[in-house]
Structure 1
């Protein structure tokens, strides 16, 4: 009987050793629903500090002062970034999320695709670029805009 238990353990051990590797591809099991991102704002090819930014997707909204780090909830939907500083410069950008290839393969192999469907619904297994850069643009002041649109020649 002792010999039988040793023999079955040796047949079972490769499967037991491979199980964590197979489940490692399953984002539902291994990945956090949150992701830490680093955000930078650029104006005229130089980084701008003290820029207030709001990041949002279908899972929530987050505030960060750029340059800075923020933790967001992963999603399959794009991440919208809206930034402003002193009412003079603004930025509006969107960043798409991508599926983790190893997670997709692991889900298809281990769960016959069910895990991938769960990951698509929850956003686990998808991630945004680690470093985000938004390009700031100067806002025209109302008086400057009025001067540019003024007509020099009278119509009557």
Structure 2
């Protein structure tokens, strides 16, 4: 009997994600070249709910969705892209157990029942077009490398 009450209490606290969850989420984007963090890349983040822009490294608040978040970064002769997978959070599973279909449909439509990773790393590479490689030698492209102390200070 006690275990049934305890289970009921836990399930009751999970609730509907659209009621207790957020529809927006901050994500941090950093760019990396040859295993070192680099700064100053213009990045576009997009999903089926909108598009957002930042200059790496930075955070931006995105509208959550069931669709993955595409990240494209570019600076001079370098570019990179990544995809952040949207995953169901705990509140949506509690909603399925307690409320069934209606609440789940609301959570899917608003994105409140889904999350992206909070930290996204985009690996950038030189663009491989012969014309660009000839016009901009790699050693002449100014990439701002961050020292370990700068990177640690920014995270803390």
TM-score between the two structures when normalised by the length of structure 1: 0.73
Structure 1 segments of 4 or more deviating over 6 A? none
Equivalences for residues 112-127 of structure 1 within 5 A: 112-127=100-115
Q: Which residue of 2 aligns with 1:78?
A: 68
Distance 1:143 1:24 in 2: 53
**1:40 equivalent in alignment to 2:30:** yes
Contact 1:107–1:114 at 8 Å: present in 2 too?
no
Cα pair distance change 1:118/1:23, threshold 3 Å = farther
Is the radius of gyration larger for structure 1 or structure 2?
1
83, 88, 97: which one pairs with 2:77? Answer: 88
- Long gaps (5+) in structure 2: 136-156
Contact 2:88–2:113 at 8 Å: present in 1 too?
yes
**1:111 equivalent in alignment to 2:99:** yes
SS in 1 for 2:60: strand
SS in 1 for 2:55: strand
Distance 1:74 1:118 in 2: 13
Distance 1:144 1:56 in 2: 29
Compute the displacement of 1:25 (Å).
3.0
Number of residue-to-residue matches in the alignment: 128
